[in-house]
Amino acid sequence: MNILAKIVSDKRKEVDLKKSLIPIQQLESSVLFKRETISLSKTLQNSESGIIAEHKRQSPSKSIINQSLNVQDVAKGYENAGVCGMSILTNGKYFGGSLDDLILARASCQLPLLRKEFIIDSYQIIEAKSYGADAILLIAAILTKNEIKQFSELAKSLHLDVLLEVHNKEELQKSIIPSLDMIGVNNRNLKTFEVNLETSKQLSEQIPDDFVKVSESGISSVNAIKELQLLGYKGFLIGENFMKTDNPGASATEFINALKT
């Protein structure tokens, strides 16, 4: 069984358990459920850097990245650096994240927050809103076209932006739906975890201009971003590059300053 299939199988069990413990009505009565969201896609369209900086403690491909930082400091550091948005991994078993990270980041900054999770149930979208997210990630590789439509329409009804992640032409073609805001090309092969920026380059022309183009994974140089900007990309999801340092905010500041020169 490849790692993606295993993560999804574990996630289904986790979501079933949560649904039995915390009813949807309880999520909808959260204070954060009523807050006005900040649009990540609009922020990216109006930005020069387009950086979405990630909070990620570990991953299946790299194991431990950084366990010593607290999410509030990381969120404040990223905001001071001038990033466009922050991606919060809420997957516990494989990435060491939690929904508490989302709440703590929400309390610490005014950035648009993306809940990065393996979403396989509409329950998780309501959960994202109730914990302070502004946007959700949908992964084409684990969803049918009908699920992408259903989940993205639900997200839009809750004023959440939708970033749809694809890895190849087939996933992209099945996924183009008006209720998406951003299409992200993941340069990491989720079966082998190898990274190749060519994936973003090859798919750039196939993404309709109605959507904000985002490149994800393996972006570690200013040159890579400048190259991708020429192909129409407005968003760049950067995780490990900042998180592997002692001060992600400072390394994001340095990176954005280099990008401006």
Q: Enumerate domains of the chain plus CATH numbers.
A: 3-260 (3.20.20.70)
Among 184, 185, 209, smallest CA distance to 197 is for 185
116 is catalytic: yes
Q: What would the pLDDT profile of 205-230 be if each residue is shown by its tens digit?
A: 999 999 999 999 889 899 999 999 99
Q: How far apart are CA 221 and CA 133, in angstroms?
A: 28
Per-residue confidence (pLDDT) for residue 1, from 0 to 100: 55
Q: Can you give the pTM of this predicted structure? A: 0.95
User: pLDDT tens digits for 177-208?
Assistant: 999 999 999 998 777 778 889 999 999 999 99
- The verdict on whether 186 is a catalytic residue reads yes
Catalytic residue among 11, 41, 49, 54: 54
What is the CB neighbour count within 10 angstroms for residue 56? 25
233-238 and 161-166 beta bridge pairing: unpaired
Q: What is the pLDDT of residue 48?
A: 86
Average pLDDT value for the chain: 94
Q: Once rounded to an integer, what is the mean pLDDT over residues 152-171?
A: 97
216 in active site: yes
Q: What pLDDT is stored for residue 4 in this prediction?
A: 87
Choose, from 41, 49, 56, 152, the residue flagged as catalytic.
56
Verify whether residue 217 is a known catalytic residue: yes
Q: What is the pLDDT of residue 65?
A: 73
> Which residue in the list 49, 59, 66, 186 is annotated as catalytic?
186
| Number of Cα atoms under 13 Å in the Cβ half of residue 133 | 31
Is 54 annotated in the active site? yes
Decide if 93 is catalytic: no
